[in-house]
Structure 1
Amino acid sequence: MNTENNNTAQATNSTKSIILGIGIIAILMVLIASAGFIFFGEKEDIITGQVEVDEIRIAGKVPGRIAEFLVEEGQSVKEGDTLVRIYSPEVLAKLEQAEAAKAAAEAQNQKAIAGARKEQKEGAYELWQKAKAGLEVAEKSFARVEKLFKEGVVPAQKYDEVLAQLKAMQATERAARSQYDMAINGAQREDKMAAQALVARASGAISEVDAYMKESALLAPSAGTVSEIFPHKGELVGTGAPIMNIADYTATRVLCAVREDKLAKIKHGSKLKATVPALGDKAIELSVVKMKDMGSYATWKATKPRDEHDLRTFELTLKPTTSIEGLLPGMTVVLDKGQL
């Protein structure tokens, strides 16, 4: 009797142990499954963006040395404010050369306009008068010899010699008259035009150098804040080398990357809510102003086996609907999950 009772008790205890073991295993499986779901299951994406502003890079056309900065980083400037001065001795030398070339061209032009000097005119006139006198003598001599030749007093050779002298004096008189007329009338029209062209070219060279001189003092093209200055005072800068950046904090925008399966509720003009961690999770409202495919280089996600369908990534450009105090470039913006 006692033996039967002991066997029954042992069987009962064995059954309880099996049930307890099964329960423990089931609980462990549930815990493992829950942990796997929590740690390895698909997580909800957090979409963040970054604040950016419009920046203008200030660079000069003139190579030279930084003479002085009239602004510093963080300073607000207005359009037309002088930012920096660049000293360029090469440009100053070119200006002197251009001014000297213009002075020479103007002198040449005045000479062409005025024509020959008074002394040259008088000299040409005297040569012409001398040639005229010689021609008169030659004409009289020819008249006498011609009369004697007809009477048969002088031979034909003498007649030919006097005739040749007459023709030579006529040519000399015409040449002297031409020289005198040229001295009176001045330079030819083409010469005057060439002299005027030289003056215009020299003036153009001065205008070009003046333009470079103006570039030695760089002005702010628009209002903004000096965000960064690259060189130091006294450093050499080349043509087109960046000197500083001017940021327009009134043109703030947020750029963020969103997978296309999150775009169902988003379109151009949509209003999205977001928070700014750097401002104590301040809530802000953004408006979608631009949606652009980021291209094949952007991150994509395969949603089916063997890449049957891939999701592309789009870049959204968002702008605050109101002015946000303290919002600076580089700050992170977190979009609310419920609206995507």
Structure 2
Amino acid sequence: MTEFPHESDDSKKPADSTESVTSREGQASVDPVEDASAAEPEQPTPTYNRGDSKADKSARIKKALLALFILMILGAIAYGLYKSSQHNEPEVITLQGQMQMQQTSIAAKVPGRIAQIMVTEGDTVTVGQQLIEMDSPEINAKINQAQAGKQIAQSQLDKAENGARPQEIAQAKAAWQANKAASDLAENTYQRVNRLYEEGLMARQKRDEAYAQYLATQDQTEAARLQYDLALEGARSEDKSAATAQVAQVDAQLDEAMAAKKEANLKSPIAGVVDNVIVSAGEVIGQGVPLLTLVDTNDQWVVLNVTESYLNQFAIGQTFTGTIPALSSADKPYSKLFTVYATSTLSDFATWRPTNNDDGFDVRTFEVKARPTTPDARIRSGMSVVVRINATPINQNQE
């Protein structure tokens, strides 16, 4: 085995010393085998050029700045295109309105106690359907009183129209005839006494008494005859008219009492839906107190508050589409077509006033009412209506 005495010494020398490089060159010419074995574990030491490293770093910074500048330019171009597309598209204004329906409050015209409530909230009622039954003893008493008064007045009228009974007529005739007979007897007696007086056989006093008796019986006979004529003729026309008026007055009182009883049994004046029942059975209520509320589902409208800048979109007779969120689903919005039928200005509190003269003039707010083309029974008062319009506001600075 060949021994290399200088192997360990050469491997321990530093690679960057000039002496080791010179000694290795000398040893390589003397002992090539030793040089090959010694060079194998050594790694070449790279040399760095500081000038080239700085140049590469500067180039990379320039490239990054250039890329950033290009990205900024592209972003500015994209933003400009986005804004230009926004200006080209019309501005969309969203308005929120509220549905309303015709409400009718049912109140009692007469006081009483509620005996029974025949409907509940949400029920559909028709015209003339009974809603509430009331118990009022006072009304029943007035009805009985009016009926009794009518019987009395009708009897007086019948008596005036029918006249005297046959027995009364016969009695009046007999009285007249009796008085007539007495008058004839008094006349004959006076004539006899007068002849005797003329012959001087009778005193004048007796003749005067006979004459006075004759005149008295004549007056009684005439009175009896007139009573008989009245019995034949019946009551006067004035008496008949008075009796007829008395009957009509009592009939009116009876009708009033019957109307009060009818009003006690409250009936629906319209066809609609029971919205709210205010009272309960057994309560005593007074005259004019509301008992329940009905709504007419066919009489619907939406109310929007619109500034006059956008009022040109809601002229009388114009139509627009509104969405009702309460009846919409996630994938299917519920929309209705509405027709404007009325507009009116709101009070001054709803006026938009400019802060200075350069902002333009005051902008008033108007209340717009519109009806759906086809009413829907599912719609209820208070439901929101969302309306989106392509706004074309009026230029406030335009004169």
TM-score bin (small chain): 0.7 to 0.9
Structure 2 counterparts to residues 176-255 of structure 1, below 5 A: 176-255=224-303
* Alignment match, 2:187: 139
Corresponding residue to 2:386 among 320, 324, 334? 334
* Alignment match, 1:299: 350
Q: Work out the CA distance in 1 between the residues paired with 2:268 and 2:218.
A: 76
Q: Work out the CA distance in 1 between the residues paired with 2:265 and 2:276.
A: 18
Q: Work out the CA distance in 2 between the residues paired with 1:280 and 1:269.
A: 26
User: What TM-score results when the alignment is normalised by the length of structure 1?
Assistant: 0.79
After superposition, what is the alpha-carbon deviation per residue over 1:148-198, rounded to whole angstroms, capped at 9, x for unaligned? 222233333332222222111111111122222223332222212211221
Q: Which amino acid aligns with 2:238?
A: E
Given that residues 268 and 290 in structure 1 are in contact (C-alpha distance below 8 angstroms), is that contact kept between their aligned partners in structure 2? yes
* Alignment match, 1:130: 178
Q: Which amino acid aligns with 1:233?
A: A
Q: Work out the CA distance in 1 between the residues paired with 2:317 and 2:230.
A: 81
Corresponding residue to 2:314 among 260, 263, 266? 266
Structure 2 counterparts to residues 1-340 of structure 1, below 5 A: 46-280=94-328, 282-284=333-335, 285-296=337-348, 298-303=349-354, 305=356, 309-323=361-375, 326-339=378-391
After superposition, what is the alpha-carbon deviation per residue over 1:281-330, rounded to whole angstroms, capped at 9, x for unaligned? 7352332222112243x410113637983221110012234455743211
Q: Secondary structure at the match of 2:312?
A: coil
Given that residues 272 and 339 in structure 1 are in contact (C-alpha distance below 8 angstroms), is that contact kept between their aligned partners in structure 2? no
After superposition, what is the alpha-carbon deviation per residue over 1:200-240, rounded to whole angstroms, capped at 9, x for unaligned? 22222222222222222222222211111111111122222
Pair 1:255–1:152, CA change in 2 (3 A): same
Q: Work out the CA distance in 1 between the residues paired with 2:197 and 2:231.
A: 41
| Residue 74 of structure 1, CA deviation | 0.5
Given that residues 273 and 283 in structure 1 are in contact (C-alpha distance below 8 angstroms), is that contact kept between their aligned partners in structure 2? no
In structure 1, list runs of 5 or more residues that go unmatched. Answer: 1-43
Given that residues 274 and 336 in structure 1 are in contact (C-alpha distance below 8 angstroms), is that contact kept between their aligned partners in structure 2? yes
Q: Work out the CA distance in 2 between the residues paired with 1:122 and 1:322.
A: 82
Q: Which amino acid aligns with 1:193?
A: S
Q: Work out the CA distance in 1 between the residues paired with 2:301 and 2:376.
A: 11
Given that residues 107 and 290 in structure 2 are in contact (C-alpha distance below 8 angstroms), is that contact kept between their aligned partners in structure 1? yes
- Pick the structure with greater CA Rg: 2
* Alignment match, 1:29: none
Given that residues 149 and 156 in structure 1 are in contact (C-alpha distance below 8 angstroms), is that contact kept between their aligned partners in structure 2? yes
Q: Work out the CA distance in 2 between the residues paired with 1:277 and 1:136.
A: 110
Q: Which amino acid aligns with 2:351?
A: W
Pair 1:311–1:68, CA change in 2 (3 A): same
Q: Work out the CA distance in 1 between the residues paired with 2:338 and 2:174.
A: 95
Q: Work out the CA distance in 2 between the residues paired with 1:127 and 1:319.
A: 87
In structure 2, list runs of 5 or more residues that go unmatched. Answer: 1-91, 393-399
After superposition, what is the alpha-carbon deviation per residue over 1:118-145, rounded to whole angstroms, capped at 9, x for unaligned? 4543443333233222212211111111
Q: Secondary structure at the match of 1:127?
A: helix
Q: Work out the CA distance in 1 between the residues paired with 2:224 and 2:168.
A: 13
Pair 1:62–1:162, CA change in 2 (3 A): same
User: What TM-score results when the alignment is normalised by the length of structure 2?
Assistant: 0.68
Q: Across the two proteins, how many residue pairs are aligned to each other?
A: 296
Given that residues 298 and 377 in structure 2 are in contact (C-alpha distance below 8 angstroms), is that contact kept between their aligned partners in structure 1? no
Given that residues 299 and 375 in structure 2 are in contact (C-alpha distance below 8 angstroms), is that contact kept between their aligned partners in structure 1? no
Given that residues 254 and 333 in structure 1 are in contact (C-alpha distance below 8 angstroms), is that contact kept between their aligned partners in structure 2? yes
Given that residues 114 and 186 in structure 1 are in contact (C-alpha distance below 8 angstroms), is that contact kept between their aligned partners in structure 2? yes
Greater shift in the superposed pair: 89-98 or 150-159: 150-159
Pair 1:173–1:289, CA change in 2 (3 A): same
Q: Secondary structure at the match of 2:313?
A: coil
Pair 1:319–1:186, CA change in 2 (3 A): closer
